Amino acid sequence: MAGFLDRERTVAGPGFNRWMVPPAALCIHLCIGQVYAFSVFNLPMTRLIGITESAPGDWKLTTLGWIFSISIVCLGLAAAFAGSWLERVGPRKAMLLSATCFGGGFLVSALGIWLHVIWLVYLGYGVLGGIGLGIGYISPVSTLIKWFPDRPGMATGMAIMGFGGGAMIGSPLAVGLMAFFSGPESVGVAPTFVTMGLIYFTFMTIGALLVRLPPEGWLPAGYQPPAESGKLITTAHVHVDEALKTPQFYLVWMVLFLNVSAGIGVLGQASAMSQEMMPGKIEAAAAAGFVGLLSIFNMAGRFIWASASDYLGRKNTYLVFFALGMALYAAVPPAAAMGSVVLYVLCYCVIMSMYGGGFATVPAYLKDLFGTMHVGAIHGRLLTAWAAAGVMGPVLINYIREFQIEAGVPKAQAYTVTMYIMVGLLFLGLICNALIRAVDSRHHHGEPDTGGSRS
Amino acid sequence: MSSRKADATKTPTWQLVAVWTLVLVPMGWGVLETLAKAAQLFS
């Protein structure tokens, strides 16, 4: 069994169609993207004892909020520490470990819910699930880059689009299962966790079985790699430890951190924010629709922007994200003041598409700067920017809003300062992106990607 | 070019269709569910 999972056994035979690999990646990302829909469990989990309403002894929302936070922290840590291991053992073993952790995390949490022991839920979905998330997120990325050297942005965009789409599947699936399993004596959360754990484990395992690595030196038919490094695109490779010594790594870290910080706070507070900024124009049901629309643009942006980056270049794509993002954030307060729902929604939809696009384009940016050999490990280290932005973004939105309201600013205008701070963050990102240059050749090692067999 | 034609026959078309269907069907379902919710914004 161990042999079957080995990197050598994952190498594709002659004639393997590379279009079999993106669905393998999507099998993983469509499952782990469920983490963004975890909030659908929050209210039912506050009624595990009381069933119809919270009873003394039931868990509080603040207690449950830690489950998501722990899983995101473990995602960042697992991605950072498992990256080098993943490059060594290959994608199949890593994807199967991810499936076991993520699916197993649901099962351990189900036991915790059944016994009403919160630390088991923290350990299950938080720690185990988070590790599964982190390893699963980075597992297929470097494999896709190696299969699609001609279109690395499009290839990774497809997989990371799946992460955006995962919440769209996870949310209605969880709601439907809880409705099916609930009754007079249960809210149905524990059996829902068991069912979802088994479904996700099966689906992710299919992805692990489907995935293949290209043979050493393989290149797509008709593709001519550049003979020498271009302005930013290298044909050499940089080791992950060496990459951490370059200013480019930290500049890309800042680029991702600032792009994500500007979007993640909006995504988390979209419902309440839209109702408060557009009173009388956007009510609760419409706000739920607004959140749904943002999810669709977040998902579509991952594929569209990352694919566009293959033509525009990675640096130019981020230039668009920052410059257009600044203009759109600055346009939000006047759009709200005018009462224009269409303009308001349009601004946020484009902003969300660029938030998703930032995630999906960054692996190809790393491939351009550091080569393909250690891109999975470098990507893993870079995802600590996501964890940091996950703390910074919501804090900016929530605390500045509260400060404004306490200072007597009307609720409809409480977000205005935040929007201008977002413009400032994006301006910083614009500078960091502009400072990125090609990695100095003293950091390179290994043979350059200038040729090889074709199929 | 001839090698690409020969290679293409090694992975049967039904396998490609099957794996893409496997991922596109749940994704399409999720998008439709979300679009139905998003429609409330303009209703």
pLDDT at A299 over 80: yes
pLDDT at A235 over 90: no
What's residue B1's pLDDT? 38
pLDDT at A453 over 80: no
Contact B31 A19 (CB under 8 A): no
Contact B35 A292 (CB under 8 A): yes
Nearest to A168 among B23, B31, B42 (CB): B31
Nearest to B40 among A30, A169, A285 (CB): A285
Taking all residues of chain A, what is their mean pLDDT, rounded to a whole number? 90
Which positions in chain B touch A206 (Cβ < 8 Å)?
22
Which positions in chain B touch A23 (Cβ < 8 Å)?
19-20, 22-23
Q: Which of A17, A281, A297 to mutate to test the interface with B (most CBs of B within 10 A)?
A: A17
Look at A9-23, A49-63, A266-280 and tell me which has the smallest mean pLDDT.
A266-280
> ipTM score of the complex?
0.86
Distance CA(A427)–CA(A425), nearest Å, equals: 5
What's residue A49's pLDDT? 95
What's residue A230's pLDDT? 65
- Could you tell me if A292 lies within 8 Å of chain B, comparing CB atoms? yes
What's residue A149's pLDDT? 92
Which positions in chain A touch B29 (Cβ < 8 Å)?
169, 172
Q: Give contacts of A 188-217 with B, CB under 8 A.
A: 206, 210
Per-residue pLDDT band for B9 (boundaries 50, 70, 90) equals low
- Give the rounded distance of the alpha carbon of A192 from its chain centre: 24
**Nearest chain B residue (CA) to A18:** B11
pTM: 0.89
Percentage of chain A beyond pLDDT 70 is 96
pLDDT at A448 over 60: no
pLDDT at A139 over 60: yes
- Could you tell me if A20 lies within 8 Å of chain B, comparing CB atoms? yes
Coil, strand or helix: which one is B8?
Answer: helix
Q: How many helices (H) and strands (E) does chain B have?
A: 2, 0
What's residue A323's pLDDT? 98
Mean pLDDT for B10-14 is 88
- Give the rounded distance of the alpha carbon of A166 from its chain centre: 10
pLDDT at A1 over 70: no
pLDDT at A309 over 80: yes
- Could you tell me if B2 lies within 8 Å of chain A, comparing CB atoms? no
Per-residue pLDDT band for A5 (boundaries 50, 70, 90) equals confident
Which positions in chain B touch A286 (Cβ < 8 Å)?
40-43
Distance CA(A237)–CA(A397), nearest Å, equals: 40
Which positions in chain A touch B43 (Cβ < 8 Å)?
286, 289
Contact A23 B7 (CB under 8 A): no
pLDDT at B7 over 60: no
Look at A64-78, A185-199, A388-402 and tell me which has the smallest mean pLDDT.
A388-402
Percentage of chain A beyond pLDDT 90 is 63
Q: Which of B7, B21, B22, B23 to mutate to test the interface with A (most CBs of A within 10 A)?
A: B23
Beta-ladder partners of A238 = A444
Give the pLDDT confidence of A392-434 residue by residue, as tens digits: 887 777 788 888 888 888 888 888 888 999 999 999 999 999 9
Contact A168 B34 (CB under 8 A): yes
What's residue A451's pLDDT? 36
Coil, strand or helix: which one is B1?
Answer: coil
Contact A165 B35 (CB under 8 A): no
**Residue B14 tokens, joined:** 């039904």
Q: Is A52 exposed, middle or buried (0-12, 13-18, 19+ CB in 10 A)?
A: exposed
Max distance between CA atoms of chain A, in angstroms, equals 70
Per-residue pLDDT band for A121 (boundaries 50, 70, 90) equals very high
What's residue B6's pLDDT? 42
**Residue A260 tokens, joined:** 């994500």
Which positions in chain A touch B37 (Cβ < 8 Å)?
288-289, 291-292
Residue with the larger pLDDT of the pair A346 and B11: A346
Contact B34 A292 (CB under 8 A): yes
Nearest to A289 among B31, B33, B37 (CB): B37
Give the pLDDT confidence of A251-290 residue by residue, as tens digits: 999 999 999 988 887 877 788 888 888 888 888 888 888 9
What's residue A2's pLDDT? 55
- C-alpha distances (whole Å) from A419 to each of A87, A108, A203, A320, A355 are 40, 41, 40, 18, 15
- Could you tell me if B32 lies within 8 Å of chain A, comparing CB atoms? no
